[in-house]
Structure formats: structure tokens, C-alpha cells
């Protein structure tokens, strides 16, 4: 059994790989960080006794998905679990963020995952078995100032995954959109002390805990999974917040100009 995980050299992606290795899945780890990726592959292979291969590539490239798929075909590897986890983030107003960064984020969060779902999903449908996990976000439900493009790409992933789940479930292929709130990783560039405090308060979730719960939801064929009781409780109230109030808060906090 083989699983392919993007963004697997660290953070949530590494935790996904570790969780699947503990379930005796062989791994294909994908990232653009060559040294951490090699260290992760070697560590997981030794610790869990599974075969662990690495592919170092830029997932924002137009041909990234096709290249990954071709490599798996060359290796004669059938992927049973595909995890589209790779992501990037930058806080700031839409027009102020570097255009190349925004273009790469759109490619990484939408174009490459969609193509990977199509390529590996076709094989899974033929075999009438497989799992796909796409990392969305709680921000998929509301357009926030400062993370506008990020939230929009995550909304696409959530909706795309939900529709794909419906299309493929009759073939024994299940797609799960995982929509966490804040996770204790380096993505937000917060200091360690603050991150520990946020985890203690339940505002941030440890990545290992998220990975364990998300894989459990995936293997239970859940279409959309929102980890964390606090996130599930607050979501209906978040949807009721008018955008005028959001704009007022953003101006008071300095996110938007007065």
C-alpha cells in the first residue's frame, strides 16, 4: 500500500506521513525542500520499517502534477491514498502582496491539487478503491481581510472536494476536505511561547493531533471534516457576522486603512 503526501518535509505534511507509516503504508514524500525531505524519508523508513521515497519538486510549476504522476508510473507504484497538503501563506491586503507569491499560492492550492486529483483519481476509479485528502481551512467559509486570496483558494478546495466525493463515492473512492482552524506550525511565523499558549487555550491544534483525526475521518469516508470542538461550535456564529462589522474591526485593528 502506497500513500503520496505533498508538503511532507515538515509540519502537518510530515505528521500525515508519520501517521500513515504507523498504519504500514509505504510513502512517497513530496516537497521543494530537498534536505529536510531526505531526512524525513530516511527517518520514517527507519522508524516504521516502510519504504519511503522522496520527490523534490516545485509544486507551483504548471507541469508539477503530471511529472509526479509520471514518476509513480515509472516506479510502477499504485497510490491508494493521495494527500494534497502543501500550502503557503502570507498576511496582507490583496493588492499589497507580491504578485508572484499570489500566483504561486493559487497554483499550489488549486491548480496542482486539482490535476493530481484527476490523474490519480482516474486510476482509483478504475480500481474502485482509493482515498484523497485535500487540506482546506476554516477560512473557506468567510472572506477575511488580510487573507483574502488564501481563504478563496481554500474555499475552492473545500467545494471541489465535496463535489468530487459525491462523484467518486459510488466507485469506492472517497474524498475528504479537512478544514482546520489554526494549527501549531511555522506557517504563521509566530514565536514558540505564543504558539504554546494558543495550544493550551485550544485555539491552536497540535499537528500530530490534527493528522491523526484527519486520517481517521478520511478512512471513515467523511466528505468534510472540521477538527476541533471550538471550530465546529463557532462556525455557525461566524457565518452570521455581517461584512460591515468585519470591515469595522479590520479598520480598528489596523488591518485596513481608516
Phi, psi (5° rounding) for residue 56?
A: -95, 115
- Tell me the three state secondary structure of residue 176: strand
What digits encode the pLDDT tens for the residues 39-76?
999 999 999 999 999 999 999 999 999 999 999 999 99
Q: Give catalytic status of residue 150 as yes or no.
A: yes
Sequence-distant (6+) residues with CB within 8 A of 42 are 52
Q: Which of 150, 156, 171, 188 is catalytic?
A: 150
> Is there a contact between 162 and 177 (Cβ–Cβ < 8 Å)?
yes
Query: How would residue 257 be classed by pLDDT, with cut points 50, 70 and 90?
Result: very low
What nine digits make up the cell of 82?
A: 493521495
Asked whether residue 98 carries a pLDDT value surpassing 60, the answer given is: yes
Q: How far is CA 8 from CA 5, 120, 242, in A?
A: 6, 18, 37
Q: Which domains does the chain have, with CATH numbers?
A: 2-231 (3.40.50.720)
pTM, whole model, 2 decimals?
A: 0.88
Cell of 92: 496582507
Amino acid at each position: 500500500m502506497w500513500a503520496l503526501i505533498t508538503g511532507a518535509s515538515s509540519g502537518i505534511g510530515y505528521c500525515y506521513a508519520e501517521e500513515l507509516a504507523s498504519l504500514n503504508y509505504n510513502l512517497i514524500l513530496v516537497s521543494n525542500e530537498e534536505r529536510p525531505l531526505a531526512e524525513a524519508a530516511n527517518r520514517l523508513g527507519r522508524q516504521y520499517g516502510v519504504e519511503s521515497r522522496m520527490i523534490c519538486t516545485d509544486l507551483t510549476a504548471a507541469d508539477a502534477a503530471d511529472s509526479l504522476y509520471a514518476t509513480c508510473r515509472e516506479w510502477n507504484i499504485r497510490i491508494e491514498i493521495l494527500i494534497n497538503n502543501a500550502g503557503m501563506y502570507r498576511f496582507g491586503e490583496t493588492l499589497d502582496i507580491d504578485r508572484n507569491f499570489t500566483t504561486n499560492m493559487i497554483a499550489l492550492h488549486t491548480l496542482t491539487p486539482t490535476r493530481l486529483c484527476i490523474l490519480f483519481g482516474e486510476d482509483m476509479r478504475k480500481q474502485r478503491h482509493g482515498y484523497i485528502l485535500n487540506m482546506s481551512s476554516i477560512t473557506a467559509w468567510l472572506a477575511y481581510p488580510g487573507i483574502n486570496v488564501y481563504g478563496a483558494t481554500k474555499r475552492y478546495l473545500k467545494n471541489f472536494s465535496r463535489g468530487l466525493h459525491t462523484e467518486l463515492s459510488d466507485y469506492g473512492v472517497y474524498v475528504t476536505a479537512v478544514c482546520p482552524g489554526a494549527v501549531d506550525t511555522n506557517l504563521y511565523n509566530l514565536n514558540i511561547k505564543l504558539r504554546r499558549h494558543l495550544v493550551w487555550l485550544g485555539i491552536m491544534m497540535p499537528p500530530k493531533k490534527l493528522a491523526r483525526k484527519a486520517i481517521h475521518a478520511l478512512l471513515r469516508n467523511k466528505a468534510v471534516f472540521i477538527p476541533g470542538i471550538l471550530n465546529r461550535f463557532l462556525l455557525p456564529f461566524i457565518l452570521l457576522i455581517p461584512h460591515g462589522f468585519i470591515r469595522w474591526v479590520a479598520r480598528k485593528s489596523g488591518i485596513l486603512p481608516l
